[in-house]
């Protein structure tokens, strides 16, 4: 956590109730299910990792039993962290609890392999906006199949340096440079660590 708070008294909202996701009774090797808004909001690292392996059609992974894949899917639905659970870099609350991210602010076009997340910092002068955006980008890059283009944006009018933050978050070279900084990577990993509440 940061020593000097930028927003000492953030408004904390209740988390939305998690909707039950239907788990398929059998895992089909060649079935490709579209990714939707809820999937991104509740993104599951392991589930999408195995989804990617199944759709990759690798001969190595064809030998994995469907029962084993189903068990891994159930495990991931139960235990792994979600985008909505990414922690704020300043406070012990999730981005959902601070309404920095909402399901309505996520656009998904599965046909075009495109995901856009628009987040709203708690204050206009938030210096953590780039860290929050970097956390969102890293979580999606680690979780989504590589065919997806990820676009992270600050909500219009919600930040004093909106265009500069948007440019920084969507510039591949700047993101790569940021991820070479061990202090930033530690901060991102801390925000992405599961809390198991």
| Cα distance between residue 92 and residue 195, in whole Å | 10
* In a shared domain, residues 91 and 187: yes
**CATH number, residue 176:** 3.30.300.130
Q: Look at residue 14 in the predicted model and tell me its pLDDT.
A: 73
Based on the number of CB atoms within 10 Å of its own CB, is 22 exposed (0-12), middle (13-18) or buried (19 or more)? exposed
Q: In what order do the strands lie in the sheet with 114-119?
A: 106-109, 114-119, 149-154
Task: Return the structure tokens found at 53.
Answer: 């392996």
**Which uninterrupted H or E stretch holds 114?**
strand 114-119
* In a shared domain, residues 98 and 161: yes
Q: Based on the structure, what is the number of domains in the chain?
A: 2
| Cα distance between residue 81 and residue 178, in whole Å | 23
Q: Look at residue 28 in the predicted model and tell me its pLDDT.
A: 53
Q: Per-10-residue mean pLDDT for the chain, 197 residues long?
A: 65 65 51 60 46 49 55 42 81 90 84 90 92 94 85 95 95 95 95 76
Q: Look at residue 173 in the predicted model and tell me its pLDDT.
A: 96
Instruction: Classify residue 1: in a domain, yes or no.
Output: no
Q: Which of 79, 101, 129 is the last residue of a domain?
A: 79
Residue span of the structural domain in which 172 resides: 86-192
Give the length of the chain: 197
């Amino acid at each position: 956590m940061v020593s000097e708070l930028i927003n000492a008294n953030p408004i904390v909202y209740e988390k939305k109730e998690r909707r039950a996701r239907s788990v398929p009774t059998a895992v089909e090797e060649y079935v490709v299910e579209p990714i939707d808004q809820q999937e991104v909001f509740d993104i599951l690292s392991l589930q999408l990792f195995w989804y990617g392996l199944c759709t990759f059609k690798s001969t190595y992974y064809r030998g994995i039993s469907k029962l084993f894949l189903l068990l891994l899917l159930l495990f991931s639905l139960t235990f792994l962290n979600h985008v909505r659970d990414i922690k704020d870099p300043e406070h012990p609350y999730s981005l959902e609890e601070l309404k920095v991210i909402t399901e309505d602010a996520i656009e998904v076009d599965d046909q075009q392999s495109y995901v856009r997340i628009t987040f709203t910092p708690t204050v206009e002068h938030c210096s953590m906006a780039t860290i929050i955006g970097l956390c969102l980008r890293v979580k999606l890059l680690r979780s989504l199949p590589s065919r997806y283009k990820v676009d992270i944006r600050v909500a219009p009018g919600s930040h004093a340096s909106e265009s500069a933050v948007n440019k920084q978050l969507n510039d591949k070279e700047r993101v790569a440079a940021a991820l070479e900084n061990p202090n930033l990577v530690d901060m991102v990993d801390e925000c992405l660590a599961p809390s198991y509440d």
